[in-house]
Structure 1
Amino acid sequence: MNIPDRHSLLWKLVGIITLFCFLLIGLYTQQRELLLQRTAFIADRDKVTLRAYAHEAEEIWRQEGAVGVASFLARLRDRENVWADVLDEGSRSVTGQPLRGRARVRVNFMRELDWSVGRPFDNDSATIFIPFADGRHRLVMELPWHMNPRRHFAMLTNLLHLLPIVLSMLLGVLLYRIFIPPLFRLSAKARCFGAGNFAARIGSPMIQRQDEMGTLANAFDHMADRLENTIEFQRTLLHNLSHELRTPLSRLRGLNEKTQDSEILRQRLGYEIDAMERLIGNTLQFIRLNTETPDLPREEVDVAMLWDIIKADACLESGWDASRIRRSLEPEECLVQANLSGLGQTLENVLRNAIRHSPPDGTVSLSARREGDVWRIEVRDQGPGVAEDKLQYILLPFARLGQARVGDGGFGLGLSIARSMIALQGGTLWAENAHPGLRICMTLPAYPPVSAPRNMPAAAD
């Protein structure tokens, strides 16, 4: 498993959850300690009441003695429903009643009013004592429940247990705000795209994110670009193809109306069928190169020797003399990494196009020069050239330029196929005016590649 980079959502999640855990533990611990402290001591108003009980007991002890104290303790027990007694310095009851059982245990764990009342979950209430003014006697009593600061501890603890739940909900809201809105935006754009709005894109700022959301947005926009281009390509292709197919049919219909010679009709029919077969074949190849992106195996190719083979076929097909098709390269001088069949078809299409647009006594020349790790290969004709603003247009499928470069049967697919074929081999193809003529330029990786360019002879026209 590859470790995600530092901008990954994984690290954002790890950071958020880690921070959340530290916050939760720290906040819960702090609030629990605060709760323990605030419920550990008797409230001031209750201290006043307890001291009043002690003062009353002391007055009764002085005035009425043990009998009065016994009567006071009985009333106090009935009022507060707690155990209480008045003890001397030896922890003996002034009423004369011995301390037994739980009373003796309580005396051993007496607390002053200002002390903590004890552990939160003690079953018994704390036993507190309030000394008399004489310093020898004291009122000892069980802390009444309504004065016990721990009486609400269980409820407050349960409320404190809600803190992790509340913080978890806030964390969920935070994560929702971080991750869900981009997905909603993506979903909305996908619906727009599905409804026929092929210009819908995610756009900024989502594509500028450096995490998986940004990657997803870029992938969506790239997919949308590809689909939009493909759909536009299909529309244009269908329009142009239907036009190209109607043209020979119109010519045949016109010829059929004008002549009754069956031999002429048969020859023309054969010619038009061949033309339509070439059109369909070239169109299918162009579609395959621009939609399927086949993986073309590459090898060492000698451009000069390949040119000679293509030159022989072109001369046979066009009737040109071989001296009119030239090269300034020697065998094994220009070696490139390319697909032999693909490069051969490219040069063949370019050469046919050059022959088609050359004057009767024109020539076509091949030249090349090394530029670093690539070879720049040029095929130049002596035709009328192309307007500067149309140089890119002639590389589009079914391109027509009026009378500037009129063909004699071409469909405007040759250069488009050539450019796509070169692109699949890691190169580029473009057109330049040579004054006179047109120069088709292409670059291909050199074989073998080197870091420093070799000085090669300048390309000859």
Structure 2
Amino acid sequence: MRDVLLIALYALAGAAAAGALGALALWRLRHRSVAVSLTVVAAVSVTAMFAGTLSVARAMFLSPHDLTVVTMVCAMAAVVSLAAALLLGRWVVARSKALTVAARDFGHSGSFAAPDGDATAELTALGRELAATSAKLEESRARERALDASRRELVAWISHDLRTPLAGLRAMAEALEDGVAEEPQRYLRQIRAESDRLDAMVGDLFELSRIHAGVLPLSPSRMSVYDLVDDALTGAEPLAREHGVRLVGDRVDAAPVEVDGKEMTRVLGNLLVNAIRRTPADGTVAIAARQEPGTVVLSVTDACGGIPEDDLPRVFDTGWRGSEARTPPAGAGLGLAIVRGIVEAHAGRVTVCNVPGGCRFEVSLPTAP
């Protein structure tokens, strides 16, 4: 037992000395290539085994021949280990350089393509993460391009929509000023109507700017969905009578929600006004509310004939107004964008889909605790 303990101590002393020298070498070479580090690790392993073996061999008083044999075996093992470490290091370095080049191209071109060939699990995982990041950046750039396009369209449409009433106001004001207006009262009523229209457009723009800036003030309170629907129906009833459209709201669950009543009434009002304007006379616009686990879904269904499938993803874009047949006389393409902004500010979601004879807008809101 004592001999075994001595052998273990001699082997530990030799291996510890080799390990200390290897640790010092790794620290000094810490900024060099991974191939150098792998070679040092292999050399430390072989040297530790070699030192321990020699220490034990000398302590056991081996013959010179036996000592030479042991030394030769250890030397051959060291050569093979160092060669394997060098090959592995060069392979890892080559894969790392290929990944570096691909990452550099990612910075220049904006898209990442993983290099061909096998790599270590860590480098493969890094390549997958870079590819996922590239895809997310591409999606972000696509959204940014879509937003820029919608802003340009919005500016063009708003410029046109503002120029037309302003030109009419100027002409009517000049006619009144020159005293050539045959019916001054009619001109004054028209001026008031155009002013109200411009005021509504400016109000929508201001609301949309607050939504995009994330500073929309909300004063949430607990209320019933039934009350929200009732207020929206009351506000839309005159317009429905004017267009000869029937309003139906008899399938409404009295589910509790915690929302800003004014803003959510505006959401439902915008949806009802759009539905009424796009539904032909004698048509029906239905509003309903159903309760699902943790969610209340409010829906507005019209009889507009449906939205083209290609236009469905753009319905809530700022400035989108669809085809000419679906464009309201005073629409600026802001109403549905405001609807989405207000609903998302309440941690909700708004969607649209086609149904037989028309389309349905659905607003999903979390139920009140």
Same fold, judged at TM 0.5 (above): yes
1:234 matched to 2:148: yes
What's 2:99 paired with? 182
What's 1:429 paired with? 351
Provide the secondary structure at the position in 1 that maps to 2:234: helix
Contact 2:225–2:257 under 8 Å retained in 1: yes
Letter in 1 for 2:199: D
Letter in 1 for 2:99: P
Report the Cα offset of residue 231 of structure 1: 3.5
Task: Return the match for 1:116 from 64, 76, 81.
Answer: 64
Q: Normalising by the residue count of structure 1, what TM-score does the alignment of the two structures yield?
A: 0.50
Contact 2:251–2:289 under 8 Å retained in 1: yes
Report the Cα offset of residue 29 of structure 1: 4.4
Structure of higher RCO (CA pairs closer than 8 Å, 6+ residues apart)? 2
Report the Cα offset of residue 384 of structure 1: 4.8
1:24 matched to 2:43: yes
Once residues 430 and 408 of structure 1 are traced to their aligned partners in structure 2, the CA distance between those partners, rounded to angstroms, is 22
Task: Return the match for 2:232 from 310, 318, 327.
Answer: 310
Contact 2:42–2:85 under 8 Å retained in 1: no
Q: 1:214 to 1:388 in 2, by over 3 A?
A: closer
Report the Cα offset of residue 430 of structure 1: 1.3
Contact 2:150–2:320 under 8 Å retained in 1: no
Contact 2:317–2:337 under 8 Å retained in 1: yes
Once residues 410 and 209 of structure 1 are traced to their aligned partners in structure 2, the CA distance between those partners, rounded to angstroms, is 54
Once residues 295 and 278 of structure 1 are traced to their aligned partners in structure 2, the CA distance between those partners, rounded to angstroms, is 15
Aligned-pair Cα RMSD in Å? 5.1
Once residues 255 and 115 of structure 2 are traced to their aligned partners in structure 1, the CA distance between those partners, rounded to angstroms, is 46
Q: 1:242 to 1:21 in 2, by over 3 A?
A: same
Contact 1:356–1:408 under 8 Å retained in 2: no
1:261 matched to 2:176: yes
Q: Normalising by the residue count of structure 2, what TM-score does the alignment of the two structures yield?
A: 0.60
Q: 1:279 to 1:210 in 2, by over 3 A?
A: farther
What's 1:400 paired with? 321
Contact 1:369–1:376 under 8 Å retained in 2: yes
What's 2:360 paired with? 439
Q: 1:248 to 1:216 in 2, by over 3 A?
A: same
Q: 1:204 to 1:18 in 2, by over 3 A?
A: closer
Task: Return the match for 1:284 from 197, 209, 214.
Answer: 209
Once residues 317 and 203 of structure 2 are traced to their aligned partners in structure 1, the CA distance between those partners, rounded to angstroms, is 18
Letter in 1 for 2:135: D
- 1:6-59 C-alpha deviation (Å, 9 max, x unpaired): xxxxxxxxxx999878743333346669999xxx9xxxxxxxxxxxxxxxxxxx
Contact 1:304–1:327 under 8 Å retained in 2: no
What's 1:455 paired with? none
Equivalences for residues 37-52 of structure 1 within 5 A: none
Q: 1:232 to 1:402 in 2, by over 3 A?
A: closer
Q: 1:273 to 1:117 in 2, by over 3 A?
A: same
Report the Cα offset of residue 253 of structure 1: 3.3
1:415 matched to 2:336: yes
Letter in 2 for 1:191: H
Q: 1:304 to 1:225 in 2, by over 3 A?
A: same
Once residues 395 and 410 of structure 1 are traced to their aligned partners in structure 2, the CA distance between those partners, rounded to angstroms, is 14
Equivalences for residues 152-163 of structure 1 within 5 A: none
Provide the secondary structure at the position in 2 that maps to 1:366: strand
Q: 1:27 to 1:428 in 2, by over 3 A?
A: farther
Report the Cα offset of residue 407 of structure 1: 0.5
Report the Cα offset of residue 354 of structure 1: 1.9
Q: 1:337 to 1:254 in 2, by over 3 A?
A: closer
Contact 2:39–2:89 under 8 Å retained in 1: no
Q: 1:403 to 1:233 in 2, by over 3 A?
A: closer
Once residues 144 and 164 of structure 2 are traced to their aligned partners in structure 1, the CA distance between those partners, rounded to angstroms, is 30
Q: 1:190 to 1:378 in 2, by over 3 A?
A: same
Once residues 349 and 369 of structure 1 are traced to their aligned partners in structure 2, the CA distance between those partners, rounded to angstroms, is 20
- 1:332-372 C-alpha deviation (Å, 9 max, x unpaired): 63334666565443222212212333445555322133445
Q: 1:180 to 1:221 in 2, by over 3 A?
A: farther
Contact 2:102–2:114 under 8 Å retained in 1: no
Contact 1:392–1:431 under 8 Å retained in 2: no
Provide the secondary structure at the position in 1 that maps to 2:361: strand
Report the Cα offset of residue 222 of structure 1: 1.6
Once residues 304 and 201 of structure 1 are traced to their aligned partners in structure 2, the CA distance between those partners, rounded to angstroms, is 52
Provide the secondary structure at the position in 2 that maps to 1:260: helix
Contact 2:247–2:284 under 8 Å retained in 1: yes
Report the Cα offset of residue 385 of structure 1: 4.2
Letter in 2 for 1:408: P
Provide the secondary structure at the position in 2 that maps to 1:376: strand
Once residues 118 and 439 of structure 1 are traced to their aligned partners in structure 2, the CA distance between those partners, rounded to angstroms, is 92
What's 2:30 paired with? none
Once residues 228 and 36 of structure 2 are traced to their aligned partners in structure 1, the CA distance between those partners, rounded to angstroms, is 64
Once residues 294 and 344 of structure 1 are traced to their aligned partners in structure 2, the CA distance between those partners, rounded to angstroms, is 15
Once residues 128 and 258 of structure 2 are traced to their aligned partners in structure 1, the CA distance between those partners, rounded to angstroms, is 36
Provide the secondary structure at the position in 2 that maps to 1:396: coil
Larger Rg: 1
Q: 1:210 to 1:336 in 2, by over 3 A?
A: farther
Contact 1:245–1:276 under 8 Å retained in 2: no
What's 1:380 paired with? 301
Report the Cα offset of residue 383 of structure 1: 4.2
Aligned length: 305
What's 2:278 paired with? 357
Once residues 367 and 318 of structure 2 are traced to their aligned partners in structure 1, the CA distance between those partners, rounded to angstroms, is 29
